[in-house]
Amino acid sequence: MSKRVLATVALVALALMCIGLLWLDLPLARWVHDSGLAASPFMVGSIGVLDTIFGVKLSYWLASSICIVVGTALLVIFRNRPRYRLLGQTLASVALVQASTNLLMILGKNTFGRVRPVDLLASTDWSAMWFMGGGSFPSGHGAFYFGLLLPLAASTSRIWLRVLLLGIAVFVVLARINMERHYLSDVCASALIAACVALSLRALLQQFKATAVPAIATAQR
């Protein structure tokens, strides 16, 4: 996985999350609510199509489960064919990143209990946002799509494919803001979590290759 891609996404997500938490979350949510553009049919319909394609409607764990099964099968069956072995390693890494991101997302939702914009704006008390049993922070859709598509984008050298994969993830989180399901900081937090998990996994794999692989090769001589 490209360290540059992952680090760039992490820095941008961190900056936007801080801007959202410190200032922009509520003004943006109010603007979406008052603009008449909230929950546009295009955004809602597009999210429905993407959720169907990627299996979100069935389970948040379906994509990572498929990736780990296919990745492991490729590593076992084609262990002597570098091209398929690399694909297997990539899919296994994607599965680990997405599953870990989903777990951290669930932990965050249960910990912070942030009220969703649609519920907050319908109430009279805008100060009661955190620790109220809500499920806004961080974004579940953001965790799913960035957890899945970010490591894939960072694993390919094709620029157009990187743009496409990241574009889908960005579109999804923008749609969730439009649907008044999340604040800016919610979706950015999910992107940040995915990027940090991917960077951590990348560092662990590099450390493993630098230490364990030479040791195994020496022992086999």
**Residue 195 structure tokens:** 């990027």
What CA–CA distance (Å, rounded) separates 65 from 132? 32
**pLDDT of residue 196 exceeding 70:** yes
Interval 13-20 mean pLDDT: 98
Q: Name every residue whose Cβ is closer than 8 Å to that of residue 133 and which is 6 or more positions away in sequence.
A: 113
pLDDT range class, residue 214, cuts 50, 70, 90 = low
- Show the beta-strand stretches assigned E in the chain: none
Burial 104-139 (b: 16+ CB within 10 A, else e): bbeebbeebbbbbbbebbeeeeeeebeeeebbbbbb
- Is pLDDT larger for residue 44 or for residue 82? 44
**pLDDT of residue 213 exceeding 90:** no
**pLDDT of residue 215 exceeding 60:** no
What CA–CA distance (Å, rounded) separates 28 from 218? 59
Interval 67-96 mean pLDDT: 93
Q: What is the mean pLDDT of the chain?
A: 93
pLDDT tens digits, 154-163: 999 999 999 9
Residue 131 DSSP symbol = S
pLDDT of residue 217: 52
pLDDT of residue 208: 80
Sketch the domain layout of the chain as residue ranges: 3-211
What CA–CA distance (Å, rounded) separates 193 from 215? 33
What CA–CA distance (Å, rounded) separates 106 from 10? 20
Residue 21 DSSP symbol = I
Of 163, 173, 165, 171, nearest in space to 143 by CA: 173
pLDDT tens digits, 89-145: 999 999 999 999 999 999 999 999 999 999 998 887 777 899 999 999 999 999 999
In this prediction, what percent of the chain has a pLDDT beyond 90? 83
Element at 129 (helix H, strand E): none
**pLDDT of residue 205 exceeding 80:** yes
**pLDDT of residue 79 exceeding 80:** yes
Residue type, 165: L
